[in-house]
Homo-oligomer: A and B are copies of this chain.
Amino acid sequence: MRWSTAYIPTLRHDPADAEAANHRLLVRAGFIRQLMAGSYSLLPLGMKVVTKIEAIIRQEMNRIGGQEFLLPVVHPSEPWKRTGRYDDVEGILIKFRDRRGADLLLAMTHEEIFTVLAAEMRSYRDLPQLWYHLQTKFRDEPRPKAGLLRVREFTMKDSYSFDIDQAGLDRQFDNHFGAYSRIFSRFGLPVIPVEASSGSMGGSDSIEFTVPSPAGEDDVVVCPTGDYAANVERAVSRLDPVADQQVLDAVEDLPTPGIRTIAALAEAFDFAAGPHQIKTLVYMVDGDPTLVLLRGDHELMVQKLVDGLGTAKIRPAEEAEIRPLLGAGPGSLGAVGVDGISVVADPALEGRTGMVTGANRDDHHLRGVDVVRDIAVDRWLDLRTVQVGEPCLRCGMPLEVVRVIEVGHIFKLGAFYSEPLEATVLDEAGVERAILMGSYGIGVGRSMAAVVESHHDDKGIAWPVAVAPYEVVVSMVKIDDEPSAAVADDLYRELTAAGIDVILDDRDLRPGVKFTDAELVGFPFRVTVGPRGVAAGEVELTERATGETVTLAIDGAPGAVAERVESLR
C-alpha cells in the first residue's frame, strides 16, 4: 500500500472526552471512528488489525478441532423464552417486532441458536463437536465508555462445545484454555487467567482471561506468587481466626438507643467490634425476602449471592418491606428467632458465639448470640468481598487487587441450554441424554483495545508484529530525490514480494511529520530512506517499541528487514 492513496486520517489532537489510551490513540491514529455511543466504524487500519486478530483466532480454534459457522444476528424470541433469557434482567437485550408482529431480538450472544442447531444431532456418535463463529453482537449497555472496551455493538468469536459426558466437556474446556493462552500470547497480551463468576450464563466453572490495565472495569484478586487469581466476584481468601468474646449461655437483650451502625455499636460497647457483630441484610430473591448474614467487618459481594442462589432476580429490600416483616428498621435487624424467612449466612460466622446482632426491635440489640444455637441458617454461602492484604488461601501471602480488562471468558454450561431446548442424543446404551455444553468467547475489538492499552507510549501505539496494521513502513525522506525515492520504491516492492506487510510513505510531507505519524500509528518497524543515506549506500531501520536504530547496507536491507520481522511474528 502507498500511504499517498491510503485512507489514514490521523488527527493532530486527541479527541475530546477520550480518556482511555485505546480510545484516544485508535481515533487519533485513524483506526476507528465513533458512530454513536458505544458503536464504532473500523477504518482501513483498524480493519487490518482486526483481520489479523481474527486469523489468529481461527488458526487456534481450528487447531483444537473447531468448525466455523455463521449464525444470524437477528433471532426469533422463542428459544430465548425457553431458556428464560428473553426476560432480560439487565435490560441490554434489544427487542422489536417484524412486519408480521413476530417478536425478534438482536443477538447479545449465541448459546440459544447454536443449541437449536445442535438439537438436530441424534446420537453420541455425532459427538464431540466444537462449533464457532465470528459475529456481531449488540448489547444495550447503560454506560458505554473507554473506547472499544465497553461498547454496544462488537464482534465476538464465540465457540460452543457439545459432549456426551463431563470428561468430554472437561477436555474441551482445557483445550480452550490452551488455545486462549496461545491466542492472547500471539496478540502480545500479558493475560492473567482468573476464576470467575458464571453470571447470567448458567453453568458451573468459568475462567476469565484478563489483562492488567488502569482502563479496565474489573478487579481481580491475585496472589503475588502467581498461584491464585480470581475475579473479585468469586475470589476467596484465608481468614485469620477470631477468638470469641463475651460468650453467654443465652442471648441477652442489649438496649442500644439511637445506635444504627456497626461502627456506632463498636464504639459504644468494646465487646461489639466488627468481627464480633453479625451484619444482617434483607434481599428480595425471586420476590421473596431472604436474610443475608455476614460478619460485621465484612462486605457482601452481591454476585456471590446471585451465583449461590442461582437467580439474578435479586434486589435489596426497601424499608417499607422490611418493617412489617421483622418489626424494626435497618440498623436493628437480626435473624435470631426469625421463622418462615430464608436465611443465608457467610461461613465466617460458622461456629461463632458471643456475637452481637439486631433484636428486630428499634433501639435494641442482642448479645451473646451463638450462631449455630440461636439462628436457623438455611444455607451457608461464601458471600464476602475479599480485601487487599488478606492471606492467600493456598499460600498465605497477602493478596493484591488488580484492575483488568476482560478479553476472554470460558464457561462450562453443562445442560443449562440443552435441557430447555431439548438438545439430546442417545447414548451408547440407547438412553436419551442432554448434551453437555461449554461456551467460550473472545472480544475481537476489545482484544485490539487491550493490545493498545498494553503497547503504547506518549508518541502513540507500538503494535506487536503479529497484529500490526502493517509490519513495516518504508519512509521516503524526500519524494522528489530520484535516487533515494527509487531505492525506497525497490525496497517496498522487494519486501512485499518477500511476504512482508509493508506500507510506503510516499506522501509529499516533511520527514518530521511522516515520522510522527508513523510513531502515532505504531508500525513495528520503520525503514528510513533518504538522499544522504542512499548516497552512502545505506538505509536506517528503527524499531518502534525500543526506538533502536541500526544502519543497513542497501543491498542486504530487504533480507535483513524481513528476517527481523519474521523473528517477531
Contact = CB atoms under 8 A, between A and B. Distances in A.
A2 to B, nearest CB: 10
Interface string A32-71: 0101100111111011101100000000000001011111
B41 A72 contact: yes
A65 B5 contact: yes
Contact of A140 (B50, B68, B99): B99
A7 interface: yes
A126 B65 CA distance: 46
A150 interface: no
A102 B140 CA distance: 11
Q: Point out which of A70, A71, A102 has the most chain B C-beta atoms below 10 A from its C-beta.
A: A70
A136 B142 CA distance: 24
B94 A94 contact: no
A7 B41 contact: no
B36 A76 contact: yes
Contacts of A44: 67-69, 131
A268 interface: no
A456 interface: no
Contact of A6 (B6, B7, B67, B91): B67
Nearest to A118: B7
Contact of A96 (B42, B47, B96): B96
B120 A33 contact: yes
A91 B35 CA distance: 24
A51 B39 CA distance: 26
A148 to B, nearest CB: 12
Nearest to A35: B72
Contacts of A65: 5
Contacts of A113: 35, 41
Contact of A71 (B41, B94, B102): B41
Given A33-B117, A67-B6, A91 B99 contact: yes
Contacts of A138: 73-74
Contact of A120 (B9, B35, B70, B94): B9
A214 B240 CA distance: 79
A41 B69 contact: yes
Contacts of A47: 68-70, 133
A152 interface: yes
Contacts of A40: 72
Interface in A501-540: none
Q: Point out which of A94, A131, A133 has the most chain B C-beta atoms below 10 A from its C-beta.
A: A94
A41 B117 contact: yes
Nearest to A99: B140
Interface string A325-339: 000000000000000
A73 B140 contact: no
A75 interface: yes
B99 A142 contact: yes
Interface string A132-173: 010010101010000000001101000000000000000000
A216 B117 CA distance: 29
A46 B68 CA distance: 9
Contacts of A98: 94, 140, 152
B74 A50 contact: no
Nearest to A33: B117
A129 interface: yes
Q: Point out which of A39, A98, A126 has the most chain B C-beta atoms below 10 A from its C-beta.
A: A98
A74 B41 contact: no
9 contacts: A7-B131, A39-B74, A41-B71, A41-B113, A44-B67, A51-B68, A72-B153, A73-B138, A95-B96
Interface of A: 5-7, 9, 33, 35-36, 39-44, 46-48, 50-51, 65, 67-76, 91, 94-96, 98-99, 102, 104, 106, 113, 116-117, 120-121, 126, 129, 131, 133, 136, 138, 140, 142, 152-153, 155
